């Protein structure tokens, strides 16, 4: 996951090798290391995976810009409070709720945190993303799948006075958010 960003920036494909117990992205298992020899003879197929382009706006300023392979999460952090979020698709409100946060996942990430939070599994080569609320305090907040080729998702923090919401990109805490900050 963490190497995906660096490899993407340099146009280098990556190959996942599962040497542990969980390897959703791994094409090669620990017992199949002999298959690596196929790389030398160009005997392989490349699968392209979409990534999220993440920008955090504070007023007119861009305070963060990065890419993510699995997901981007806006969450309340460690504080036992509710974060209130406004989620929009191309400027039209898709959901507004209070809860623990929201996950915006790629098809690759749909089998990770988003799935654990109740989101759907999306076919890996689909050009879409999933928006999944985390422990929403309303019945109307459900996962929604959007067309990534045509739509942009915006998440705006409505409250931050008594909490310190954060943005995580592929599991790394990146930015502490303020009320009014938006993530696109």
How confident is residue 76, by pLDDT bands cut at 50, 70 and 90?
confident
Provide long-range contacts, Cβ within 8 A and 24+ apart, for 114-117.
Answer: 114/71, 114/143
Residue 59 CB neighbour total at 10 angstroms: 10
CA 156 to chain centre: 16
Residues 109 and 122: beta-carbon distance below 8 Å: no
Closest CA to 122 of 107, 132, 112: 107
Tokens of 181: 């900050």
Local structure of 57: helix, strand or coil: strand
In this predicted model, what pLDDT tens digit does every residue of 26-37 receive, in sequence order? 677 777 888 888
In this predicted model, what pLDDT tens digit does every residue of 133-181 receive, in sequence order? 999 998 888 999 999 988 999 999 988 666 778 999 998 878 989 888 8
Residues 113 and 73: beta-carbon distance below 8 Å: yes
């Amino acid at each position: 996951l963490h190497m995906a960003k660096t490899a993407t920036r340099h146009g280098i494909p990556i190959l996942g090798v599962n040497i542990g117990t969980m390897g959703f992205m791994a094409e090669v298992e620990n017992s199949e290391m002999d298959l690596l020899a196929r790389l030398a003879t160009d005997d392989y197929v490349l699968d392209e995976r979409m990534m999220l382009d993440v920008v955090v706006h504070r007023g007119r300023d861009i305070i963060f810009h990065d890419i993510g392979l699995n997901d981007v999460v806006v969450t309340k952090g460690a504080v036992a409070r509710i974060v209130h979020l406004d989620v929009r698709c191309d400027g039209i409100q898709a959901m507004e709720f209070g809860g623990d946060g929201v996950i915006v996942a790629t098809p690759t990430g749909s089998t990770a945190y988003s799935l654990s939070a109740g989101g759907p599994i999306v076919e890996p080569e689909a050009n879409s993303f999933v928006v999944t609320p985390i422990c929403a305090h309303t019945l109307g907040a459900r996962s929604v799948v959007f067309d990534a080729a045509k739509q942009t998702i915006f998440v705006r923090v409505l409250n931050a006075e008594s909490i310190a919401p954060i943005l995580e990109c592929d599991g790394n805490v990146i930015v502490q958010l303020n009320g009014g900050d938006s993530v696109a």
